[in-house]
Amino acid sequence: MEIILRKARPEDREKTIWVESLSTPNLSYVPHVWDMFINDEKGDWSVESVDGELAGCGKYSILPDGSAWLETLRVIPQRQGLGLGKRLYEHWLKLSAEKGVKTMRMYTGIGNVVSSGLAEKYGLSTAETFHGVKMEAKPFKTEHSFKKVSDVEEATELLLPLGEKWGNWMVMNRTFYKWSPALCEWLTGNGRVYKDADGNVVVMGARFMAEYQLHVGLFFGDAKTCLDYAKIKAAEIGVKSLHCLYPQHMSVVEKKLLDNGFVLESAPFIVKEINL
């Protein structure tokens, strides 16, 4: 049996989508991120074949703070148990050594013992448990005075203390970022920081699939004012849904979200990490 791990090529697109459809039928986004992944020069988008047939894939992404985010690990059911996931982790550890990356992270559902166990085999341990909420986007309008914060220094001074209040995590598209000056710069440069005349603050946007989902990464001040503005933006963009994830101990934030029409995700998520 010949197993090969290599960089993804443009001609692998349809077969990789097929791999995902079999491995995670309820979580399918490769068609939407293919171009982003394959054109990512800082990270790595790999596929694996068994006896010449594509059977697995995995993405290694460098986040703004220089940490590595491990995502989209997929192996078709017929080829599970052959060590394809292990090969990806070994590849990612090698990449981190070559690139000088000091931290790797991944996430999974709290009940996914296989994914969690594989990460633990390579030294990752649970860093945080998260709850998530969501809401169907609907037409919505109300008065507001929110404007984008475009100055990086202003945004950094504003967001880092607020990030601490959110457990030092910010989540978009189930990508779990640690707050840092680099993250503040990235968010500001991508137009995802908003503040109104009364000092209310919202960080929201999407890492990908921006036309489908809007993610609230942080809000501060009057919750209704902030979340109403998120509903306005969702309606303007035309997304299907709004989402927010936060550390599970943040019961006050959770109550504010539920009071404003969000509903809990069916199960918590866990983030695992290793410091190299």
Between CA 201 and CA 147 the distance in angstroms is 10
Query: 138 and 97 in one domain?
Result: no
**pLDDT category, 165, cuts 50, 70, 90?**
very high
pLDDT at res. 107: 98
**pLDDT category, 264, cuts 50, 70, 90?**
very high
User: Which residue has tokens 């008065």?
Assistant: 143
Query: 85 and 7 in one domain?
Result: yes
User: Is 250 exposed, middle or buried (CB count within 10 Å of its CB: 0-12, 13-18, 19+)?
Assistant: middle
- Model pLDDT for residues 9-56, shown as the tens digit of each residue: 999 999 999 999 999 998 899 999 999 999 999 999 999 999 999 999
User: Which residue has tokens 């690139």?
Assistant: 99
Mean pLDDT of 157-175: 98
Mean pLDDT of 124-151: 97
Mean pLDDT of 120-137: 98
In a domain, 157, yes or no: yes
Looking at the DSSP bridge assignments, the partners of residue 45 are 59
Mean pLDDT across the chain: 97
In a domain, 274, yes or no: no
**pLDDT category, 188, cuts 50, 70, 90?**
very high
End-of-domain residue from the set 101, 117, 146: 101
Residue 10, number of CB atoms within 10 A of its CB? 8
Which of 234, 170, 247 is CA-nearest to residue 207? 170
User: Which residue has tokens 């491990």?
Assistant: 70
**pLDDT category, 66, cuts 50, 70, 90?**
very high
Find all residues with CB under 8 Å of 114, minimum gap 6, and list them.
none
Contact 215, 204 (CB under 8 A): yes
- Model pLDDT for residues 230-256, shown as the tens digit of each residue: 999 999 999 999 999 999 999 999 999
In a domain, 53, yes or no: yes
The beta strands (E) that lie in the chain are given as 3-7, 44-50, 53-62, 68-75, 103-109, 125-136, 147-148, 169-172, 175-178, 193-195, 201-205, 213-220, 241-247, 263-264, 269-275
Contact 270, 128 (CB under 8 A): yes
Mean pLDDT of 120-149: 97
Mean pLDDT of 60-64: 98
Query: 248 and 165 in one domain?
Result: yes
Specify the DSSP class assigned to residue 50. Answer: E
* Helix 251-259 and helix 223-237, axial crossing angle in degrees, nearest 10: 60
Tokens of 210: 């921006």
Tokens of 94: 């090698």
Query: 30 and 145 in one domain?
Result: no
- The whole-model pTM stands at 0.96
**pLDDT category, 98, cuts 50, 70, 90?**
very high
User: Which residue has tokens 């443009």?
Assistant: 10
In a domain, 121, yes or no: no
User: Which residue has tokens 């920081």?
Assistant: 193
pLDDT at res. 169: 98
For residue 90, give its domain range: 3-101
Query: 97 and 139 in one domain?
Result: no
pLDDT at res. 93: 98
Query: 238 and 144 in one domain?
Result: yes
Which of 44, 46, 55 is CA-nearest to residue 3? 55
Contact 102, 66 (CB under 8 A): yes
CATH number at residue 95: 3.40.630.30
In the chain, how many domains are there?
2
pLDDT at res. 261: 97
Contact 235, 138 (CB under 8 A): yes
